[in-house]
Chains A and B, each alone.
Chain A
Amino acid sequence: MSKSIAEINEKIKKKKAVVVTAEEIIDIVEEKGEATAAKEVDVVTTGTFGPMCSSGAYFNIGHSKPRIKLGGGKVLLNGVPVYAGFAAVDFFLGATALPDEDPRNAVHPGDFDYGGGHIIEELVAGKDVRLTATTYGTDCYPRNRLDTWINIKDLNEAVLCNPRNCYQNYNVAVNLSNKTIYTYMGVLKPNLGNANYCSAGQLSPLLNDPLYKTIGIGTRIFLGGGVGYCFWHGTQHNPGVARTEKGLPTSGAGTLALIGDLKGMRPEFLVGTSFYGYGATLTVGVGIPIPILDEEICRYTAVKDEDILAPIIDYSQAYPALVSQNLGQVSYAQLKTGKVEVKGKEVPTASLSSYPKAQEIAGILKEWIASGEFLLSEPVAPLPGPKSGYAFKSLVERPIE
């Protein structure tokens, strides 16, 4: 038996769709079997909430009187530089951008208290942000300087536009050296002092649709507390990696590029975060609905933490040197017990991705769909799949003569 997205949308409009979260579907499939579950359930909602550095937002602030051309000039938001290489009053703010005067890691480890991600959170929270610009004048755009407060409600466009979110699985980071290291996977204590992971596991969007059967270009999603869309595969999309017999990648694989109106988002789901000794970033909440079109898709959504394996990688030597290494595979069920065994040693685990927030997101998306206010979209094109040949390459450096 199979259903179409159009049929499911008709049920959603009548508020008759059966919507469950990616946690709830596990028990339903266990009790009733996947055939019955696929018949009864129309949509499974997923969720994830983790630091996603390849995030940012573009803005159009409206024209000043007299006009100014920010393109080609230098523009700061609360002291953080933005990219203004567009037309007169468009610019892009990246999540990891830092104020020019931030000391970075001059005294290691640096604090990285404030950056682009924090500004995105403040804008979404409705706070005023100071825009400072210096540029060259032209006959049509005579001004050289601008110094003003801006507020998201007054901007023409404020659009979250993230080139890479929702990594399908991720490394477990450890430190084999004898000194503490400060990484994007958090503070890693020496001699296998801790093992940090970052995935919502059984709730994570791409682990519930491992072969990209339903998530594609044009998929409507929960993004940062508002509505967004998947607009492309994410950067570093790498679908061809090793997979278990259930199709689950055993390391980082697929990624998504996501976009949505920042004006409809909420600061609880777009949080500016700081990684000690590493940098500032944005922690993003994403929820993706999976239409249960057939039994196979239903089976994928019943994925459990114990089925999903992640590789353990040393971030003191192997990761920075780009040396391929795997100190073992562990499941998210093991990681969530609070300790895993690495090289014969019991190592405490910590997560950088918030499972309670992922549950909250899957729950909100479930409510949106069940109440008839959020319809599913039909993807206009699929993401490159495991057999597409699409692969993530390293940089081959060529000497400059």
Chain B
Amino acid sequence: MTNPAEATLVSRKVVLHFPRQLVDQPIVCNMVKKYDLEFNILRANVTQNEEGLLVLGLRGAEAAVDEAMKYLSDLGVKVQALAQDIVLNEARCTNCGACVVICPTGALALDPATRKVNFYNEKCILCELCIKACPPRAMEVHF
């Protein structure tokens, strides 16, 4: 297995659909151990027919992340790249800061020195609360 310290590290957001028969198994736990990945749960729920949905942020060596995705597919988990992203349109943002109290994870935060708004994409959980709370509509959903 590749040593993450030596290989190129990549971050990727994925949507995982777990069929009913896999919902009760520790698949993600096994995967992160086996491929030495960091993970962040962005969204998780089990639907009425007991299918599991998990949105994960993953970070690790590029080859290891690819192998991990194959591991999940082979087990019967449907893997999709997260086709949605939140973007701060800097040309539109006036740096008022109305968004910082709306963002639940601190992905939008004021730089105390410049008082400008910073957007930390890696902390974003795609809740979309900022989209309409932004007066100049500078936060955009990109598909």
Interface residues of A (CB under 8 A from B): 49-51, 109, 111, 113, 186-187, 189, 193-194, 196, 271-276, 283, 336, 338, 348-357
> Which residue of B has the minimal Cβ distance to A272?
B136
Which residues of the partner chain A approach B100 to less than 8 Å between Cβ atoms?
Answer: 338, 348, 350
Q: Which of A187, A194, A283 has the most CB of B within 10 A?
A: A187
- Do residues A186 and B98 form an inter-chain contact, with CB atoms below 8 A? yes
Q: Distance in Å from the Cβ of A180 to the closest Cβ of chain B? A: 10
Q: Which of B99, B112, B132, B135 has the most CB of A within 10 A?
A: B135
**CB-contact partner of A271 in B101, B110, B136, under 8 A:** B136
- Do residues A357 and B95 form an inter-chain contact, with CB atoms below 8 A? yes
Q: Judge whether B3 is part of the interface by a CB distance below 8 angstroms.
A: no
Which residues of the partner chain A approach B112 to less than 8 Å between Cβ atoms?
Answer: 338
Q: Which of B95, B101, B133, B136 has the most CB of A within 10 A?
A: B101
Q: Judge whether B102 is part of the interface by a CB distance below 8 angstroms.
A: yes
Interface size on B, residues (CB 8 A): 19
Q: Judge whether B28 is part of the interface by a CB distance below 8 angstroms.
A: no
Which residues of the partner chain A approach B96 to less than 8 Å between Cβ atoms?
Answer: 49-50, 283, 351-354, 357
- Do residues B137 and A189 form an inter-chain contact, with CB atoms below 8 A? no
How far is it, in angstroms, between the C-alpha of A243 and the C-alpha of B119 when the chains are bound? Answer: 39
Which residues of the partner chain A approach B116 to less than 8 Å between Cβ atoms?
Answer: 356
- Do residues B132 and A111 form an inter-chain contact, with CB atoms below 8 A? yes
- Do residues B101 and A352 form an inter-chain contact, with CB atoms below 8 A? no
Interface residues of B (CB under 8 A from A): 94-102, 110, 112, 114-116, 132-133, 135-137
> Which residue of A has the minimal Cβ distance to B132?
A276
- Do residues A354 and B94 form an inter-chain contact, with CB atoms below 8 A? yes
How far is it, in angstroms, between the C-alpha of A352 and the C-alpha of B132 when the chains are bound? Answer: 14
How far is it, in angstroms, between the C-alpha of A377 and the C-alpha of B94 when the chains are bound? Answer: 30
How far is it, in angstroms, between the C-alpha of A283 and the C-alpha of B135 when the chains are bound? Answer: 9
How far is it, in angstroms, between the C-alpha of A356 and the C-alpha of B112 when the chains are bound? Answer: 11
Q: Distance in Å from the Cβ of A146 to the closest Cβ of chain B? A: 31
**CB-contact partner of B101 in A272, A274, A275, A350, under 8 A:** A350
Which residues of the partner chain B approach A274 to less than 8 Å between Cβ atoms?
Answer: 132, 135-137
- Do residues B115 and A276 form an inter-chain contact, with CB atoms below 8 A? no
Q: Which of B110, B112, B116, B132 has the most CB of A within 10 A?
A: B132
- Do residues B115 and A352 form an inter-chain contact, with CB atoms below 8 A? no
> Which residue of A has the minimal Cβ distance to B112?
A338
How far is it, in angstroms, between the C-alpha of A51 and the C-alpha of B132 when the chains are bound? Answer: 16
Which residues of the partner chain A approach B101 to less than 8 Å between Cβ atoms?
Answer: 189, 193-194, 196, 348-350
Which residues of the partner chain B approach A349 to less than 8 Å between Cβ atoms?
Answer: 101
**CB-contact partner of B98 in A189, A338, A351, under 8 A:** A351
- Do residues B115 and A355 form an inter-chain contact, with CB atoms below 8 A? yes
Given A111-B132, A276-B132, A338-B110, residue A352 in contact with residue B137 (CB < 8 A)? no
> Which residue of B has the minimal Cβ distance to A351?
B97
How far is it, in angstroms, between the C-alpha of A349 and the C-alpha of B116 when the chains are bound? Answer: 15
- Do residues B133 and A187 form an inter-chain contact, with CB atoms below 8 A? yes
Which residues of the partner chain B approach A189 to less than 8 Å between Cβ atoms?
Answer: 101-102
| A-B contacts, 20 listed (Cβ < 8 Å) | A49-B94, A187-B98, A194-B102, A196-B101, A271-B136, A272-B136, A273-B136, A273-B137, A275-B135, A276-B132, A276-B133, A283-B94, A338-B100, A338-B110, A350-B101, A350-B102, A355-B95, A356-B115, A357-B94, A357-B96
**CB-contact partner of A273 in B95, B110, B114, B135, under 8 A:** B135
Task: Beyond A194-B102, A355-B115, list 8 extra A-B contacts (CB 8 Å).
Answer: A49-B94, A186-B133, A196-B98, A196-B101, A271-B136, A272-B136, A283-B135, A356-B95
How far is it, in angstroms, between the C-alpha of A348 and the C-alpha of B98 when the chains are bound? Answer: 11
Which residues of the partner chain A approach B110 to less than 8 Å between Cβ atoms?
Answer: 338
> Which residue of A has the minimal Cβ distance to B108?
A350
> Which residue of A has the minimal Cβ distance to B95?
A356
List of 9 A-B pairs having minimum Cβ-Cβ separation, nearest first: A194-B101, A273-B135, A350-B101, A276-B132, A354-B96, A356-B95, A355-B115, A354-B94, A351-B97
Q: Distance in Å from the Cβ of A347 to the closest Cβ of chain B? A: 9
**CB-contact partner of A113 in B94, B98, B133, B137, under 8 A:** B137
